[in-house]
Chain A
């Protein structure tokens, strides 16, 4: 509890301590990454159903606000609930057939559906095809959520992150959360104890999809621009997976910890290596993912659990 309060205070103080635009930018990027990864974590971490195509929900969430603006001049925020609704439908379409089968089918289906959507969007003029969509350049009112500085975005994103984590915390404590962990630990045994496995997995995917969609909307509203690669590109999914897995998939704060490490690291590699750095960043991503999978699938959380008791012992001695 103390830790949570300290964490909240640190996040509230951050923009005032590091008020220059560069640091604020990192803060906003970090919060967004933490939101998406926490959303992924619900199905990928807690339920152990590894989606590698979560960009489909992020992209839908990102496109809808700009679509409603582009075609009907509505405030982008109107697109947010529509995005959530479409993401939920997508979640059912992907989850219903694959959750009967082994986990590999689900992973394959997510990546294939995400790529299918990316290809369709890239050729679909209504959605801006390969060029993408733009939001209002100058806000017509507060409802367009176009702010000159980063500060308002920082606090909106922080608020959403708090909501996602609070929901996750609540899920963890309820029957639904116990069922998710049971499914991850052993489907056959869970089923024998009366856990409705398929339905529980589907609900987890839907909850996760809704939050991921919101993350996409936040991204698009803040950036004011979206194209197929920044919405539906594989790297969008990769970032969610790597951040959650690094911090500890299936733990409340794992994704946040992962974002705290990875986003500054990413900024650093991009700064050090200049424009060519992005390629190196992704090589690094791949390397980190392989190392986590091979040596520490529980991420830093599991590592800490193992090391911490030994550290205390040394202090005591």
Chain B
């Protein structure tokens, strides 16, 4: 097992954002983490990335207890993450952005540069390597964020709505990119609102509601689940596709 989360809870004051969530991820999976707005999946995601300290529970990555480890340690151990709102280094060039990530495993500048260029080639940003990050559009910045994380050499990548807000054409490119990354041997967890996209990508879907996992399994199976239909459809069908 690559990562396991047991009974993870997070409380903000009186609010229980995550209430005893469990998750087990095998190496090589693509997992979709879905759930209606306010289901606590973002908080849970941040717990997995080491950015939020869980109130209770235990998270183990590849045999190492990472429950209280810092985001830096997560990156070093091989857990990479993207942000819901792309947090690219706006004043740095595209290449420099990726080099910051590449330096984690390649301390020397020339090696880091070579590795970063390889990653840029993979994600299709090589022709824009000298532009400043801020001059890219949202799809470009999302792509750059993925490249940056990829350059750190992760074994597990956590993507926070990497596909949201893209046009259908961009979406197809993004899906192709995610597949390509998966083929290189990276395990993926994708948080997403758009059900259709996740259905075509993920091998396994985990549905979050009210702070815990209410259903999981193969995509076809999950959409038929009573609890899932209740959680989603109970709030009106339109919420399915809406971003928050």
Instruction: Write the residues of chain A forming the contact surface with B, with a CB cutoff of 8 angstroms.
Output: 173-175, 178-179, 181-182, 185-186, 188-197
Question: B residues within 8 A CB of A185?
Answer: 89-92
Whether A181 contacts B92 by the Cβ 8 Å rule is: yes
Closest CB-CB distance, B113 to chain A, in whole Å? Answer: 10
Whether B71 contacts A179 by the Cβ 8 Å rule is: no
Across the two chains, which residue of chain A brings its CB closest to B76? A194
Question: B residues within 8 A CB of A194?
Answer: 72, 75-76, 101, 104, 152
Across the two chains, which residue of chain A brings its CB closest to B79? A192
Whether B90 contacts A191 by the Cβ 8 Å rule is: no
Main secondary structure of the interface of A (DSSP, over half): helix
Task: Determine the distance from Cα of A290 to Cα of B168 in the docked complex, in whole angstroms.
Answer: 47
Q: Tell me whether A189 and B88 are in contact in the complex, defined as CB-CB below 8 angstroms, given that A175-B112, A195-B100 are known contacts.
A: yes
Q: Tell me whether A189 and B87 are in contact in the complex, defined as CB-CB below 8 angstroms, given that A173-B109, A178-B103, A182-B100 are known contacts.
A: yes
Question: A residues within 8 A CB of B80?
Answer: 192-193
Interface residue tally on B, bucketed by range: 20 to 34
Whether B92 contacts A175 by the Cβ 8 Å rule is: no
Question: A residues within 8 A CB of B90?
Answer: 185
Which of B70, B81, B103, B109 is in CB contact (< 8 Å) with A179? B103
Across the two chains, which residue of chain B brings its CB closest to A191? B71
Task: Determine the distance from Cα of A175 to Cα of B104 in the docked complex, in whole angstroms.
Answer: 9
Whether B103 contacts A192 by the Cβ 8 Å rule is: no
Whether B109 contacts A175 by the Cβ 8 Å rule is: yes
B232 touches A (CB below 8 Å): no
B142 touches A (CB below 8 Å): no
14 contacts between A and B (CB under 8 A): A175-B109, A178-B99, A182-B100, A185-B90, A185-B92, A186-B88, A192-B49, A192-B80, A192-B149, A193-B100, A193-B149, A194-B72, A194-B152, A195-B72
Whether A193 contacts B75 by the Cβ 8 Å rule is: yes
Task: Determine the distance from Cα of A30 to Cα of B44 in the docked complex, in whole angstroms.
Answer: 55
Question: B residues within 8 A CB of A188?
Answer: 51, 71, 83, 87
Interfacial residues of chain B within 87-142, with CB under 8 A of chain A in the complex: 87-92, 96, 99-101, 103-104, 107-109, 112
Task: Determine the distance from Cα of A186 to Cα of B87 in the docked complex, in whole angstroms.
Answer: 7
Across the two chains, which residue of chain A brings its CB closest to B71? A191
Closest CB-CB distance, A137 to chain B, in whole Å? Answer: 50
Which of A174, A175, A190, A192 is in CB contact (< 8 Å) with B81? A192
Question: B residues within 8 A CB of A179?
Answer: 100, 103
Which of B96, B100, B109 is in CB contact (< 8 Å) with A190? B100
B148 touches A (CB below 8 Å): yes
Across the two chains, which residue of chain B brings its CB closest to A174? B109
Most buried by B among A179, A185, A194: A194
Task: Determine the distance from Cα of A175 to Cα of B51 in the docked complex, in whole angstroms.
Answer: 23
Return the CB mask of B19-62 against A: 1 if under 8 Å, else 0: 00000000000000000000000000000010100000000000
Whether B89 contacts A191 by the Cβ 8 Å rule is: no
Closest CB-CB distance, A46 to chain B, in whole Å? Answer: 12
8 smallest beta-carbon distances between A and B, as pairs: A194-B75, A185-B89, A189-B87, A194-B104, A191-B71, A175-B103, A182-B100, A193-B101
Question: A residues within 8 A CB of B108?
Answer: 175
Which of A173, A178, A190, A192 is in CB contact (< 8 Å) with B51? A192
Not counting A181-B96, A194-B104, A196-B72, a sample of 9 additional A-B residue pairs whose C-beta atoms are within 8 angstroms of each other reads A175-B103, A175-B109, A178-B99, A188-B83, A191-B70, A191-B71, A194-B72, A195-B100, A197-B72
